[in-house]
Amino acid sequence: MTHLIKDKYLVQLPEGASDVRVKFGRVYFKLLTNADYITIGGGAYSILFTRDTQTEEGWRGVVDYFNNGAFRDYKYPFFAPDNDSLPFELTPTLSSHSLLQSKGIEVGGNWVILIKK
Protein backbone atom coordinates (compact mmCIF):
# COMPACT_ATOMS: atom_id res chain seq x y z
CA MET A 1 0.00 0.00 0.00
CA THR A 2 1.31 3.43 -0.97
CA HIS A 3 0.33 6.66 0.78
CA LEU A 4 -0.62 9.19 -1.89
CA ILE A 5 -1.82 12.30 -0.09
CA LYS A 6 -3.66 13.12 3.14
CA ASP A 7 -6.02 10.19 3.79
CA LYS A 8 -5.73 8.66 0.29
CA TYR A 9 -3.87 5.42 -0.46
CA LEU A 10 -3.16 3.27 -3.49
CA VAL A 11 -2.97 -0.52 -3.52
CA GLN A 12 -1.40 -2.16 -6.56
CA LEU A 13 -3.33 -5.17 -7.82
CA PRO A 14 -2.28 -8.06 -10.03
CA GLU A 15 -3.08 -7.50 -13.70
CA GLY A 16 -6.47 -9.01 -14.46
CA ALA A 17 -7.85 -8.52 -10.93
CA SER A 18 -11.53 -7.62 -10.90
CA ASP A 19 -14.50 -7.35 -8.54
CA VAL A 20 -12.46 -5.33 -6.02
CA ARG A 21 -13.81 -4.88 -2.48
CA VAL A 22 -12.41 -3.70 0.86
CA LYS A 23 -13.32 -5.42 4.11
CA PHE A 24 -11.66 -6.15 7.44
CA GLY A 25 -8.30 -4.59 6.54
CA ARG A 26 -8.00 -6.47 3.26
CA VAL A 27 -8.51 -5.68 -0.42
CA TYR A 28 -10.37 -8.62 -1.95
CA PHE A 29 -10.45 -9.30 -5.69
CA LYS A 30 -11.03 -12.00 -8.25
CA LEU A 31 -8.18 -13.18 -10.43
CA LEU A 32 -9.48 -15.35 -13.25
CA THR A 33 -11.81 -17.70 -11.38
CA ASN A 34 -10.09 -17.59 -7.96
CA ALA A 35 -10.65 -15.15 -5.11
CA ASP A 36 -7.62 -13.59 -3.44
CA TYR A 37 -6.76 -10.66 -1.20
CA ILE A 38 -4.02 -8.25 -0.12
CA THR A 39 -3.77 -7.33 3.56
CA ILE A 40 -3.61 -3.56 4.05
CA GLY A 41 -3.55 -3.34 7.82
CA GLY A 42 -5.67 -1.76 10.49
CA GLY A 43 -8.20 0.95 10.04
CA ALA A 44 -11.34 1.30 8.01
CA TYR A 45 -11.03 2.07 4.30
CA SER A 46 -13.42 2.52 1.44
CA ILE A 47 -12.82 2.46 -2.30
CA LEU A 48 -12.84 5.78 -4.13
CA PHE A 49 -12.19 4.25 -7.55
CA THR A 50 -10.08 1.80 -9.50
CA ARG A 51 -8.00 2.28 -12.62
CA ASP A 52 -11.01 1.19 -14.67
CA THR A 53 -13.53 3.47 -12.93
CA GLN A 54 -11.41 6.63 -12.56
CA THR A 55 -12.88 9.97 -13.65
CA GLU A 56 -11.83 13.63 -13.65
CA GLU A 57 -14.25 14.21 -10.79
CA GLY A 58 -12.80 11.32 -8.81
CA TRP A 59 -9.25 12.64 -9.15
CA ARG A 60 -10.46 16.15 -8.24
CA GLY A 61 -11.13 14.75 -4.76
CA VAL A 62 -7.60 13.36 -4.47
CA VAL A 63 -5.09 15.85 -5.90
CA ASP A 64 -4.19 19.29 -4.53
CA TYR A 65 -5.30 22.38 -6.38
CA PHE A 66 -4.27 26.01 -6.35
CA ASN A 67 -6.54 28.97 -5.60
CA ASN A 68 -6.41 29.87 -9.30
CA GLY A 69 -8.13 26.56 -10.20
CA ALA A 70 -5.02 24.79 -11.54
CA PHE A 71 -3.87 21.46 -10.13
CA ARG A 72 -0.54 20.57 -8.55
CA ASP A 73 2.27 19.04 -10.60
CA TYR A 74 3.84 16.52 -8.21
CA LYS A 75 7.06 16.29 -10.22
CA TYR A 76 8.01 19.45 -8.31
CA PRO A 77 7.56 18.64 -4.60
CA PHE A 78 9.04 21.92 -3.39
CA PHE A 79 5.97 23.93 -4.43
CA ALA A 80 3.27 24.10 -1.75
CA PRO A 81 -0.33 23.70 -2.96
CA ASP A 82 -1.33 26.97 -1.28
CA ASN A 83 1.45 28.90 -3.01
CA ASP A 84 -0.31 29.63 -6.35
CA SER A 85 3.10 29.21 -7.96
CA LEU A 86 3.95 27.38 -11.12
CA PRO A 87 4.33 24.60 -12.14
CA PHE A 88 0.81 23.30 -12.39
CA GLU A 89 -1.35 20.93 -14.41
CA LEU A 90 -4.57 21.97 -16.14
CA THR A 91 -6.71 18.97 -15.20
CA PRO A 92 -7.08 16.62 -12.22
CA THR A 93 -6.16 13.66 -14.43
CA LEU A 94 -2.87 15.23 -15.55
CA SER A 95 -2.12 16.08 -11.92
CA SER A 96 -2.88 12.47 -10.95
CA HIS A 97 -0.40 11.19 -13.52
CA SER A 98 2.36 13.30 -11.97
CA LEU A 99 1.29 12.15 -8.47
CA LEU A 100 1.47 8.47 -9.43
CA GLN A 101 4.79 8.92 -11.23
CA SER A 102 6.25 10.77 -8.22
CA LYS A 103 5.45 7.66 -6.14
CA GLY A 104 6.97 5.28 -8.70
CA ILE A 105 3.60 3.88 -9.75
CA GLU A 106 2.78 3.06 -13.35
CA VAL A 107 -0.14 5.22 -14.52
CA GLY A 108 -1.54 2.37 -16.62
CA GLY A 109 -0.99 -0.24 -13.92
CA ASN A 110 -3.79 -2.03 -12.12
CA TRP A 111 -4.59 -0.31 -8.83
CA VAL A 112 -7.32 0.85 -6.47
CA ILE A 113 -7.51 4.21 -4.66
CA LEU A 114 -8.70 4.02 -1.05
CA ILE A 115 -9.69 6.61 1.51
CA LYS A 116 -9.07 5.95 5.18
CA LYS A 117 -12.17 6.65 7.26
Mean pLDDT, residues 85-98 taken together = 85
Residue 86 is predicted with a pLDDT of 61
Residue 81 is predicted with a pLDDT of 52
Q: Could you tell me how many helices (H) and strands (E) the chain has, helices first?
A: 2, 9
Q: Categorize the per-residue pLDDT at 58 as very low, low, confident or very high, splitting at 50, 70 and 90.
A: very high
3-state secondary structure of 102: helix
0.85 exceeded by pTM: yes
Mean pLDDT, residues 16-23 taken together = 93
Domain residue extents for the chain: 2-116
Residue 73 is predicted with a pLDDT of 87
Nearest CA to 61 out of 78, 75, 47 is that of: 47
Residue 68 is predicted with a pLDDT of 77
